[in-house]
Structure 1
Amino acid sequence: MRLPTFLMVRNIEPHHLQRYLLPQEEDAVIIRRHPAVLLRYVLEAIAGLILAGVLSGLVSQGTVLTVIWCLWLAFLGRLLFKVYEWSDEFFAVTGVRVMLVHGIVTRRVDMMPLSKVTDLTVDRSILGRMLGYGTVVLESAGQEQALSKVTFVPEPEGVYLQISAVAFGSGDD
């Protein structure tokens, strides 16, 4: 089964990533974070819908009903904003650096030079193993970097191998 384009986490073409790349950089790995990052907001919207439905059956006053459903619309609006925010966020690894481009209102580009990466770690919780995501921890010697941990990475072992091949060489040399 093929995912709809907006849900794809690999083989994506971020329209705004090119403005952050240097001329000599080739994009080796570009992924979108796993859709599981939205799970909390989906569950909150569903729970709010159920609660609003139950309260609507118990309350007959029009003003209270309006407030109940407006509160649920606020939950739904937050879910829609988070989906839009997720769809515009990218994790990229080039031959020079690792970047996380995120933010709607204020665009942030967190970056760590590949030359500073001394160690990579993959952490996966039980839920992460069931749903197919994990956390990639980038460690460096010296000071704390802006980008040291990327959560909700899809297929983290594969991403780990790709980052390792770019950062430390493929071992074929």
Structure 2
Amino acid sequence: MRLPSFLMVRNVDPHHLQRYLLPQEEDAVVIRRHPAMLLRHIAEAVLGLILAGVLSGLVAQSTVLTVIWAVWFLLLGRLAFKVYEWSDEFFAVTGVRVMLVHGLVTRRVDMMPLSKITDLTVDRSVFGRMLGYGTVVLESAGQDQALSKVRFVPEPEGIYLQISAVAFGHGDD
């Protein structure tokens, strides 16, 4: 089964990536974070719908019904915003640095130069192993970096190997 293109996590072609690349940079890995990061918001919208439906059967007053459904539409609107926000962010690894570009209202670019990475770790919870995502932890020597953890990375072992190959060489030398 093939995922719709907006759900694809690999081979993402962000239209605004070139804006953040230096002239000598080429993107090696560009991914979208795993859709599992939306599960909490989806669950809240579904539970809100169920609660609104149950309360609609119990309450007869129109003003209260209006408030109940307005609150649910706010939950649905927040879910739509989170989905759009997820679809517009990406994680990129170039030959020079690692970047996480995110945010709609305020665009934020978190970056760490590959030369500063001293250690690379992959953390996967049981739930993450079942759904196919994990956290990539980028560590640098004694410094706090803007980008130290990237959560909800799809296929984190593969991404780990790709970052390692770019950061530490292919081992061919």
What TM bracket, shorter-length normalisation? over 0.9
Q: What residue in structure 2 maps to residue 124 of structure 1?
A: 124
Q: What residue in structure 2 maps to residue 104 of structure 1?
A: 104
How many residues of Structure 1 are paired with residues of Structure 2 in the alignment?
Answer: 173
Q: In the aligned structure 1, how far is the partner of 2:124 from the partner of 2:51?
A: 33
Structure 2 counterparts to residues 1-80 of structure 1, below 5 A: 1-80=1-80
CA shift, 1:143, in A, is: 1.6
Q: Secondary structure at the match of 1:22?
A: coil
Q: In the aligned structure 2, how far is the partner of 1:43 from the partner of 1:143?
A: 37
CA RMSD of superposed structures (Å): 0.5
* % same residue: 85
CA shift, 1:172, in A, is: 1.2
| C-alpha distance after superposition, 1:11-46 (max 9, x if no partner) | 010001110000110100000000000000000000
Q: In the aligned structure 2, how far is the partner of 1:147 from the partner of 1:12?
A: 20
Return the TM-score normalized by structure 1.
0.99
Task: Flag structure 1 segments of 5+ consecutive residues without an equivalent.
Answer: none
CA shift, 1:110, in A, is: 0.3
Task: Flag structure 2 segments of 5+ consecutive residues without an equivalent.
Answer: none
Return the TM-score normalized by structure 2.
0.99
| C-alpha distance after superposition, 1:95-148 (max 9, x if no partner) | 000000000000000000000000100000000000000000000003201000
**Runs (4+) off by over 4 Å:** none
Q: In the aligned structure 1, how far is the partner of 2:87 from the partner of 2:80?
A: 11
Q: What residue in structure 2 maps to residue 84 of structure 1?
A: 84
